[in-house]
Amino acid sequence: MSRTTVLVVEDDPDLREALCDTLELNGFRVERAGDGPTALACLNRARVDMVISDVQMQPMDGHTLLARIKEISPQLPVLLMTAYGNIEKAVLA
């Protein structure tokens, strides 16, 4: 039986590892990326069932990453998380 694979995209290494540890402790396989371009490269090489991404990142923010992911794989679920959200950006996502 294959496990669900989640790609975690977070530029803060400590938060990224905390998220990954939590997912792994709950039985998920995890791929890690520190930025949008690395995440896109990961999506080209690995089978991923879901993406969890920060919004506030450089050089590519989470909204741009979401748009690129939807071009590549429209059905792939993406969860965007941020400590600095607003309603307008949430509606656009």
> Which runs of E-coded beta strand occur in the chain?
5-9, 29-33, 50-54, 78-81
In the chain, where are the structural domains located? Answer: 5-92
pLDDT digits (tens, 9 = 90+) for 9-35: 999 999 999 999 999 999 999 999 999
Rounded Cα gap, residues 36 and 38, in angstroms = 5
Which range, of 3-7, 10-14, 82-86, averages the lowest pLDDT?
82-86
pTM of the predicted protein model: 0.88
Q: What does the alpha-carbon distance between residue 76 and residue 25 come to, in Å, rounded to a whole number?
A: 23
Residue 40: both structure tokens together: 């896109």
CATH architecture of 5-92: 3-Layer(aba) Sandwich (3.40)
